[in-house]
Structure 1
């Protein structure tokens, strides 16, 4: 009999991973994860249709404990990447964005600690896809109107 407690553990891991890739559809996420699992495990589950039509993945017999360990490792890699990027989100970066908002016409009194914290959160979310430097460069290249729109989104906590 399989351990029922595996279900919320695996679902929780999938949720955390998916939240870092929120623009990906669920089945894309699962397909990508299965491909990654297969690649890291000597092409486990890879089946050939025939020599002309290619291959497909069949993870039907993969035990949950192995899948769970893979998801834990995958999540750990995401966390490590996020921590590296988080270290780059310095006060200087936050102040640079605040200055770009000032240039766009936002009043100084609107730029409080809450906005600074929201900018930091914005960078954390977006750093899954772009480096801190790339995000800052994008904001620098925004028009003032685009900066205003970003400010309002950040101010609302995204």
Structure 2
């Protein structure tokens, strides 16, 4: 009999991974994870199919994870989550006071009141950098904000301010 506690562990891993990629739909997340697993494990689960199109045959493939044991999937998810967290820690080291101060100054230029740019806001701004650094470098994020209009900076300020 399989360990019933595996269900909560695997779901918790999926939840943590998904929270780092909130704009991804659930089935898209699972599909992406299966694809990564397959690539890392000698194309595990890849099935080739042929479809007859008039005279020709079109070749395509899909992933079939029906026989993958939960412990292997859990190990993969644990490893994948660790790699995300390591990457975030590397990015965190690049987010120093100088970077935060520069963006704060850009908000001030956009007429955001200084009292609203407190330590709590700075922490939320750091969270924005961590979240977006998965897709962009820290320098690119600062450059984007630098090139925003006054209204776009205010909109970004409101978005950052609303982070929990």
Could you tell me the TM-score, scaled by structure 1's length? 0.95
In 2, the alpha carbon distance for the partners of 1:72 and 1:154 equals: 29
Equivalent of residue 135 in structure 2, options 107, 124, 129: 129
Equivalent of residue 155 in structure 1, options 158, 161, 164: 161
Equivalent of residue 95 in structure 2, options 86, 89, 93: 89
1:36-59 per-residue CA deviation (whole Å, 9 max, x = no partner) reads 111111111111112623111111
Aligned to 1:115: 121
Is residue 66 of structure 1 aligned with residue 72 of structure 2? Answer: yes
RMSD of aligned alpha carbons: 1.2
1:13-72 per-residue CA deviation (whole Å, 9 max, x = no partner) reads 111111111111111111111111111111111111126231111110000000011111
Is residue 32 of structure 1 aligned with residue 38 of structure 2? Answer: no
Aligned to 2:63: 57
1:82-110 per-residue CA deviation (whole Å, 9 max, x = no partner) reads 00011111011110011000111112222
Q: Which moved more, 1:75-84 or 1:114-123?
A: 114-123
In 1, the alpha carbon distance for the partners of 2:124 and 2:101 equals: 13
Aligned to 1:6: 6
SS at match of 2:58: coil
Query: Which structure would you say has the larger RCO, counting Cα contacts within 8 Å and 6 or more residues apart?
Result: 1
Could you tell me the TM-score, scaled by structure 2's length? 0.91
Uncovered stretches (5+) of structure 2, i.e. residues with no partner: 51-56
